[in-house]
Amino acid sequence: MMSEGLMFLLDALLQPFAAILLFRFHAVWLRTPMRNPIGEFIMAITDFMVLPLRRHLPSFAGLDSATLMLALLAELLYLSALFMVQGDLSHGFPLIGLLALTMVKLLKISVYLLMAAVFAQAILSWVNPHSPVAPMLSSVSHRFLQPIRNVVPLAGSFDLSPLLLFIVCQLIVIVPIGALERLTLGLFF
């Protein structure tokens, strides 16, 4: 009973925080405008950790190293706590396997963040195309949708590129990321 409560807290607090940090990392990489309610929320709840770390960990090749490191640490802490609560680390604590699984999970979360941005952008395009978050969602998804739009024509007045991107993303999650996940979980047992 207590372990279920701990697992719920980990899933409700630590995992989303890692996803928020990862979104902030991608937003910097994609030069996403953050002057909107969602962007300001993300900045407000992560600045207390990111800004001090940036003084000691500079960006590398235009990437926000501090935010990526914090996302990695949050996911590592989440997985470590999850395995401890579940009792899956009875054979010791394989740090290499845990780090590898953390990177695979961050890759998986990144794909899901892209899918969420595309879905939200599609809904907003029907409901409120001039929403304050529309430029943020567009800058996240445009780089991935544009190559599909160059190949697939409009079907009447409907843009099928978000649907095709969803299919590609889901295949990426199922096949290569799933294989990597199974491989890294094999390092534990």
Give the 3-state DSSP-derived string for 130-189, with helices as H, strands as E and coil as C.
Answer: CCCCHHHHHHHHHHHHHHHHHHCCCECCECCHHHHHHHHHHHHHHHHHHHHHHHHHCCCC
Measured distance CA(189)–CA(17) in Å, rounded: 28
Measured distance CA(101)–CA(96) in Å, rounded: 9
Question: Residue 43: what pLDDT?
Answer: 97
Smallest Cα–Cα separation from 18: which of 57, 80, 73, 100?
73
Please tell me what DSSP assigns to residue 89.
-
- The model carries a pTM of 0.92
Question: Residue 49: what pLDDT?
Answer: 96
Mean pLDDT by 10 residues, the chain (189 residues): 85 95 96 94 97 93 94 95 77 79 97 97 91 94 94 88 96 97 82
Question: Residue 189: what pLDDT?
Answer: 61
Start-to-end Cα distance in the chain: 25
Structure tokens at 151: 């190949």
Question: Residue 86: what pLDDT?
Answer: 81
31 three-class SS: coil
Count Cα neighbours of 145 within 13 Å in the Cβ-side half-sphere.
Answer: 21
Instruction: Give residue limits of the domains in the chain.
Output: 2-185
Measured distance CA(121)–CA(129) in Å, rounded: 8
